[in-house]
A and B are shown apart, each in its own frame.
Chain A
């Protein structure tokens, strides 16, 4: 088996399974008192705004520009904010860690599967703690709060499981977003819990609560829905909401995909890291849509590295970091069959 090829049917399950995050409003001093927190309900905001984006043709024609500036830009969309008199956002979600990284979910090539199983099982046995530590770091630093994290006065993360008698407490500002690892004792303990879940020694379900002190009645940022073909003149901004939270409907929430993306932002092994100094999310081609760049498009993408690793001749060329990246991709999951197209 000199040249291993990807099977035509190949897919991996997610192994880090976050739930949708729900947003609550409350006061910073009420952390630890669940009863004081109320779900944030979305409301609609309609503004008579101004236009601020014109084509070059309009900019050159003074008359047309004046005419267009006089027109209002009517906007209509969802919005959400903390209640008046309350200054802190609580985001709650649960995170389940699933075992079985060494088994593809579907694979129609038995040779490939057994080789894959052998190689990855070895890694899971010996080297997985690095990844677990990095996922733990991303829980501790509250990266999953995304825009809600920006310029918060204080940030606190609580992580509980059935095994811990006391919740783990993290001050998120202790863990900068440019980093991925730390020597912190509590983060190491959290990493151990995640590791046990990956290895299948325990059924790890973490309950994560993040608190961000934003200021009185500040706006919060739930996930925005991608709405296809929304008609002109109708609501153009749909935010994600869940129903039936403590008897309330339309409660502001974060997509589980978005939380998952933040948790797997651990890739600082890509070539341009020295220049950017920002870890990126684990993606097959290292793509970062916000920046419009794919950092891993030159022979160090997931498929190339995976095949290199599985082939007995080239597997020694792989660095530790490449292996971490490949397994992190397996934890991310996805469909990787090599079809005709």
Chain B
């Protein structure tokens, strides 16, 4: 039926904190990249020995601390900088540049989804778990180094009773924590609402409604005054987010901004020559796509598969998405992409 590999409480140090226009947590693309890298080491389709692939992952944040400082109370946060730049021949005589980076330390839990169930004995399961743990310790997640991993566990459920048991096991491994839930639906609704008045910049305006901290002024007219002027007092109030919940802006994937190019057309690629696919389109220049997500406490999760991020590739779009709910319309990828169409 369904099988999941849980990597609980992974301590990551100095991971990327900046994703597209957003900062504070690594992008979903980075976790899916890790999932894919691990899959390549495990799956028979690549270098591994197991007859399965990791096709998606659920991201649970247990603890995050961004490496930032505040020059003074109420000032903007700024990223801590370190001088660990690349060393090139041209830096022999001069001091190397400082490259501005945003980093964070985090404890995250990942639930990886297996494409095909594995039939393993108890000993083989232990072997797989140990193998994955050893591999992960040699890998990076979101550019950060893995310091330790709490537990690696493989779960398998054959019927619905198993499934609820499996769910509570997985919850226990990942709590306390927050799981990231795709809320592009909200973005769509907000865009439609704004589009009634102002069609042109509606997607951007809608996204900013989720990502910007906005305040509004209500003028306080003095006695006998009917019109406001420069001197009129005002009360300032924070504007609520369009929907309830712990909503955050996220970077959700990529959109092609040019035609795909072959490896002959681009110099210096990291592609190994593969005799079998000569015509493969190796490179596509892309831009980041933004959406909206919600941090939801782990105990509210009822069906794991709803929270698994998977890649959806459709034409020029390359997006991280979660399974759309049965109630919503089925062309989720296109609705989402339409939204972001005018964003950049």
Contacts and interface: CB of A to CB of B under 8 A. Distances in A.
Interface of A: 8-9, 13-14, 17, 19-20, 94, 96, 98-100, 106-108, 110, 200, 203, 205, 225-228, 230-231, 234-235, 238, 240, 242-244, 255-257, 283-285, 289, 294, 297, 301, 303, 334-336, 338-339, 341
Given A228-B81, A285-B87, A339-B88, A96 B145 contact: yes
Interface in B63-97: 63, 65, 69, 71-72, 78, 80-84, 86-92, 95
A226 B69 CA distance: 11
A96 B69 contact: no
Nearest to B147: A19
Top 3 A-B pairs ranked by shortest CB distance? A335-B86, A284-B87, A8-B268
Contacts of B98: 226, 228
Given A17-B145, A20-B13, A242-B105, A303 B82 contact: no
B134 interface: yes
Given A108-B269, A334-B86, 17 more contacts: A9-B270, A14-B145, A19-B13, A98-B137, A98-B138, A106-B270, A203-B134, A205-B137, A227-B78, A227-B80, A227-B81, A228-B81, A231-B71, A234-B71, A283-B87, A294-B92, A303-B89
B341 to A, nearest CB: 33
Contacts of A257: 82, 84
Contact-residue size bin, chain B (C-beta under 8 Å from the other chain): 35 or more
B147 to A, nearest CB: 5
Contacts of B82: 226, 255, 257
Interface in B128-175: 133-134, 137-138, 140, 145-148
Nearest to A332: B87
A283 B85 CA distance: 12
B35 interface: no
Interface of B: 13-14, 63, 65, 69, 71-72, 78, 80-84, 86-92, 95, 98, 100, 105, 133-134, 137-138, 140, 145-148, 267-273
A307 to B, nearest CB: 12
B27 to A, nearest CB: 20
18 contacts: A14-B145, A96-B137, A96-B145, A96-B146, A96-B147, A100-B138, A110-B272, A225-B69, A226-B80, A226-B83, A226-B98, A235-B71, A242-B65, A244-B63, A255-B82, A257-B82, A336-B88, A339-B88
Interface of A is mostly: loop
B69 A238 contact: yes
Contact of A256 (B14, B134, B272): B14
A227 B268 contact: no
A162 B65 CA distance: 27
Given A13-B140, A110-B272, A226 B81 contact: yes
A330 to B, nearest CB: 13
A341 B90 contact: yes
Given A100-B138, A110-B273, A341 B92 contact: no
Given A96-B147, A235-B71, A9 B63 contact: no
Contact of A205 (B69, B140, B148, B271): B148
